[in-house]
Amino acid sequence: MTETTAPEIDFNPFDPAYRADPYPYYHRLRERAPIYRNPLGHWLLSRYRDCTAVLRDDRFGHGSPDLLRENTFRKPVEGRARPFILLDPPEHTRLRSLVNKAFTPRTVRRLAPRIQELVDQMLDEMIDAGEVDFMEAFAYPLPVTVISEMLGVPAADRDAVRELSHIVARSVDPDFRLSEEDKRARDEAFARFDDYFRELVAERRRRPADDLLTNLVTVHEDGERLTEAELLTTCILLYVAGHETTTDLLGNGTLALSRNPDQFHRLRTSPGLAESAVEELLRYDPPTQMSRRTALTDADVNGHPIAAGEQVVILRGAANRDPEVFPDPDRLDLGRMGNRHLSFDGGIHYCLGAPLARLEGAIAFATITRRLRHVETTTDTLRYRDNLIIRGLAELPVRLRS
């Protein structure tokens, strides 16, 4: 089958207009070239059925460093243990099993009262202020406080690690987007994160506590434990992933509700929709717009041959608005049934932190709509962070109507 060539397609994810609103680009790509090989050699998938097929196909994974070709979407950071989300079985199976034993559903469920307390405290301060930057006043501090308390990161240290977290999150973008300065900053951030968590781990070994970090230090299965390098990498992964994407869920979701006052009112009058609302907000404007897989052997996607080592980019934001799966996909519908979005990825790499993100989102959106009549943006010009994969607002100035 003949692939679509670059000149026929207007798809530039580095265009500022794309960052402001990628969905018209996705629609054109899905209609004109749903399986598209871009000039760098990456295969872009924009149809839901193709994306899910790859996520469930064991011929696709993350691949060993020697399998990855030039212009790879993202290479492992040299000299570091790879996080389990970037590993294939059997290494992925072993590490994920160990982390699952520490990051249990019970660990997440018991956080609900504390999350509710934090949401109410932050909303009290925001209502008193009247106009705030929602990202700074709520979307960032809520998830970072939750994951910090889970991992035992003291409140006094959170500002110091905030910038490290942003640098690490930026480094998940494709390698060809990162300058040498970006890469040096990334390596320094990882080194400083390692030093920080190494001290916390040593403290938990001396004085165990009732927290996730102690669970990670002590977890074992069939004689297996996390090595020191694996433990540090996992701590960084959980800390960064535990708040960066949830911050963007809260920001993107609140913006969507502000632009759809009928849906804001719907949740306000039907709080039982909170869990469904989170799923729809995740579908409508997901924090993570894409993920990638590598062909571990010669394979194909719907008749298109993919050579071993070539990379496939799963455009989650496009799949989430595929009209074949989601009727009227550009409409926000908090009661949407059968919402099988791909915002938490899929297959064996389905997001470990999904239950925590869902819990924080459900409590936050239910409380915001219960306590406020509406949230209005105070600017027509929104600024997004300069990330490609993780899409989130740099700021969201709002006026609260209580």
Give the phi and the psi of residue 61 in degrees, each rounded to 5: -155, -145
- Could you tell me the pLDDT band of residue 185, with boundaries at 50, 70 and 90? confident
Domain spanning 6-401 has what CATH number? Answer: 1.10.630.10
pLDDT above 90: residue 320: yes
Give residue 305's pLDDT.
96
pLDDT above 90: residue 313: yes
Strands (E), 134-284: none
Q: What is the mean pLDDT of residues 31-35?
A: 94
pLDDT above 80: residue 294: yes
For residue 236 the two structure tokens come to 């960084």
Domain ranges of the chain: 6-401
Helix (H) or strand (E) holding 311: strand 311-315
**What's the chain's Rg over C-alpha atoms?**
21
pTM reported for the whole predicted model: 0.92
Three-state secondary-structure class, residue 294 = strand
Give the span between the Cα atoms of 30 and 44, in whole angstroms.
10
Q: Which residue pairs from 394-398 have beta carbons closer than 8 angstroms and sit at least 24 positions apart in sequence?
A: 394/135, 395/133, 395/135, 395/136, 396/133, 396/134, 396/135, 396/139, 396/251, 396/254, 396/255, 397/131, 397/132, 397/133, 397/134, 398/131, 398/132, 398/133, 398/134, 398/254, 398/258
Give residue 65's pLDDT.
64
